[in-house]
Each structure stands twice: as C-alpha cells, then as structure tokens.
C-alpha cells in the first residue's frame, strides 16, 4: 500500500521544492529563498503492468514484457512470459492440460495451467512472432516446466 503512495509523495516534494518560499522579515522587507532546482519531470510514467489481451484481464509486469519482447525466438518469449504469468509453485504442480503423468501414472495428478492465461500467452507470442506454431510453443512450455521440476528435485537432493 505504501509503495502505491510513493509517486504522489515524490510529486508533492517536487512541487514544494520548486516553489519559492517567501518570508516576511521583522522590518517588513520580503526575503526570497530559491529552492533547489527540481529534477526534470518525466513525460509519462511507465506502466507497472502490460495487458496481454485486449480485454485487459491478463497482465504481466512491464519489465517481464520488455524482457519477453526482447527474446529473439518465440520459444524464448513464451518461457519468459510463462514465468511472469505463473509462480514457480504453480508450475511445479501443473502442466498444460492437467491429468495423470504419462511417464509415471502413480505420480501426483497435475493441475492444468489457467487456460485464459495460457491462451493470452500463446496469442501474445504468435502476435510478436507470426511464423511461430502453437504446438512448438506448447512444447517449449512443457520443456521449461520439466526443467523447473528437475531443478527443484536436484535442489532438494542437495539439501
């Protein structure tokens, strides 16, 4: 909550520091004190999040979008957005469609990733990389989730 108030506090400080303070002296003369020069005002503040869909319902942090957009491949962009849309805990317990593990049917049943977020991710990647194929992007996502599970398993074995 306090973080949301920082921009308005900074604006108030800038306004106060740029105003001239006029003080009446005891003999009736007015003395003006110049305030410190205010820093240049930004033209427009950067948004903290960016919508992936036109309906504005699926958003990622602006720095995540910038990083994803800078990826040279559709797969790289998809994996970056994946980590921006879903927490690591969700990814470790999920897969694209949910259900039983095909390799180990006795393993824990995985939950499907949020289909709305997943669709927004796929659409955003295809929009930025028009030649990308959805099945290839989905495969990259599956591989990234498997890598996360492997890293987590390795981490727990080292401890």
pLDDT (tens digit per residue) in 28-50: 554 444 555 556 666 656 668 88
How confident is the model at residue 42, as a pLDDT?
A: 61
DSSP conformation class of 1: -
Q: Looking at residue 2, what is its pLDDT?
A: 47
SS3 state at 24: strand
pLDDT for 147: 94
pLDDT at 41: 61
- List, for residues 56-73, the tens digit of each pLDDT value: 889 999 999 999 999 999
Q: What is the dihedral of CA 130, 88, 66, 9, to 10 degrees?
A: 150
List all residues 6 or more positions away from 21 whose beta carbon is below 8 Å from its beta carbon.
32, 33, 35
pTM > 0.75: no
User: Could you read off the pLDDT of 84-132 as tens digits, one per residue?
Assistant: 999 999 999 998 988 887 788 888 889 999 999 999 999 999 999 999 9
């Amino acid at each position: 909550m306090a973080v949301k108030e920082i921009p308005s506090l900074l604006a108030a400080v800038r306004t106060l520091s740029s105003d001239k303070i006029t003080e009446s002296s005891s003999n009736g003369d007015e003395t003006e004190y110049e305030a410190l020069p205010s820093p240049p005002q930004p033209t427009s503040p950067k948004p903290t999040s960016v919508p992936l869909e036109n309906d504005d319902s699926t958003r990622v942090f602006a720095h995540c979008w910038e990083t994803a957009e800078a990826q040279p491949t559709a797969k790289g962009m998809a994996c970056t957005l994946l980590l921006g849309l879903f927490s690591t805990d969700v990814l470790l317990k999920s897969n694209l469609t949910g259900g039983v593990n095909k390799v180990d049917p006795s393993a824990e049943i995985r939950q499907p990733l949020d289909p709305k977020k997943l669709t927004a991710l796929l659409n955003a990647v295809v929009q930025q990389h028009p030649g990308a194929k959805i099945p290839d992007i989905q495969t990259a996502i599956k591989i990234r989730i498997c890598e996360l599970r492997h890293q987590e398993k390795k981490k727990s074995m080292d401890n």
